[in-house]
Amino acid sequence: MSEINPKQITFARVRRRYTKAQLAKELGVTSRTVQNYEAGTPAPDLETLGQVAKLLNFPQQFFYIDEDMPELQEHAVSFRALSKMSDAMKKCAFSVASIAFKVNDWIEERFNLPQADLPDLSDLGPEEAAAALRRIWGLGSAPIPNMIHLLESNGIRIFSLTEEAREVDAFCTWHNGKPFVFLNTLKSAERSRFDAAHELGHLVRDVYSMQHGKAPDPEIEKQANAFASAFLMPKESVVANQPPAYTINYLMKLKHYWGVSLVAMAYRFHSLGLITEWNYRTLCIEMAKKGYRTQEPEEMEREKSQLLSKVQDYLQLYKQGWRDIAQSLSLSIDEINALTFRLTQLSVVKGESTAEPVNKTPPKLRLV
């Protein structure tokens, strides 16, 4: 058997948000011992490794993988609400992304996925960039039925965040020339759509800073929000669809039309100068009293990945599924489920197989 890769122990610990002291306590050893395990001086014995694997929910084989997991540089990642995040949470999110990169590589080896089609709109303001991208992608000014499907059809890889990273709203990054977006599925469907549009704004407007480590603009998050608002609710169409009165009842109808939260809908009207400051404040107070800032009323159906669903459907033709990816990458099936919007809860694969599909030509996935 090959030697234990100590870096994999560190990776697994960070992935589960354990400190060295916490892991040491669970194992009944000292923090210095865990530090030695992660330095490989010495490596844990087989019994202890079994305990580590069970505690951190990684197959033992994971710790024998020679190739280190992909690493992310902090400057190459755009987080929402970065100021609220602890260093441990950021590192946990990085580890989620690293696993997603491996899963994506596995899929790309077997399927012909859409290639990225993202223009560099960094020279435009948020409103102008949103309008330009809609023109480039041929979207007109109509509501966007499904943000995840739209991004995937333009080559952006979408994965869901896991339970350990539940405090992360969303984030995006580039890896090997491919854009990735990670979404929090614990938020309302409307807010998740806005997060997707927010991250899209980073991908098309902050290309240089994310890929070359340039310090981002201090207003970057505010501008990404403005882009998301304009992309989901184009100015001309919003003006043309003004309600007869700016009340919550009328805004509720429009929120369903655009697929955004009630708060975002009200803010868009205010930002375009269509309602007075007094009217906007009155709406905000009323929404807060009704709890609409934390609990979205009449929530829409949650969006899921179309690309991953099609991959799963194709694998099922050969009695394969996410378990085959897990086994191939020495990961737990829970890890794959968490990253793929828990699609296996909707469609359970019967039987197991590690055989390759008989069709050796990578199928092209058509996303609509």
- pLDDT per position in the chain (368 positions), as tens? 579 999 999 999 999 999 999 999 999 999 999 999 999 999 999 999 999 999 999 999 999 999 999 988 777 788 766 656 788 888 999 999 999 999 999 999 999 999 997 999 999 999 999 999 999 999 999 999 999 999 999 999 999 987 777 778 899 999 999 999 999 888 899 999 999 999 999 999 986 566 655 555 557 889 999 999 999 999 999 999 999 989 999 999 999 999 999 999 999 999 999 999 999 999 999 999 999 988 999 999 999 999 999 999 999 998 899 999 999 999 999 999 999 988 754 333 333 333 344 345 557 666 65
**Residues 13, 58: contact at Cβ < 8 Å?**
no
Q: Are strands 170-175 and 178-183 parallel, antiparallel or unpaired?
A: antiparallel
Does the model's pTM come out above 0.75? yes
**Residues 332, 57: contact at Cβ < 8 Å?**
yes
Is 99 inside a domain boundary?
yes
Same domain? For 186 and 313 the reply is: yes
* Interatomic CA distance for residues 251 and 53, integer angstroms: 51
Same domain? For 26 and 86 the reply is: no
Is 296 inside a domain boundary?
no
- Candidates 258, 218, 209, 216; CA nearest to 237 is 258
Where is the domain boundary, 64, 80, 104? Answer: 64
Same domain? For 31 and 165 the reply is: no
Same domain? For 257 and 221 the reply is: no
Where is the domain boundary, 64, 81, 99? Answer: 64
* Interatomic CA distance for residues 343 and 312, integer angstroms: 8
Is 280 inside a domain boundary?
yes
Same domain? For 120 and 143 the reply is: yes
Same domain? For 57 and 161 the reply is: no
Whichever domain contains 40, its CATH number is 1.10.260.40
- Candidates 113, 96, 147; CA nearest to 308 is 113
Same domain? For 54 and 187 the reply is: no
Amino acid letter at 186? Answer: L
Same domain? For 28 and 177 the reply is: no
Q: Which domain holds residue 281?
A: 235-289
* Interatomic CA distance for residues 232 and 258, integer angstroms: 7
Count of the separate structural domains present in the chain: 3
Structure tokens at 105: 């590589």
Is 299 inside a domain boundary?
no
Same domain? For 18 and 84 the reply is: no
Q: How far is CA 104 from CA 157, 307, 352, in A?
A: 8, 11, 21
Same domain? For 139 and 177 the reply is: yes
Is 251 inside a domain boundary?
yes
Same domain? For 10 and 51 the reply is: yes
Same domain? For 248 and 357 the reply is: no
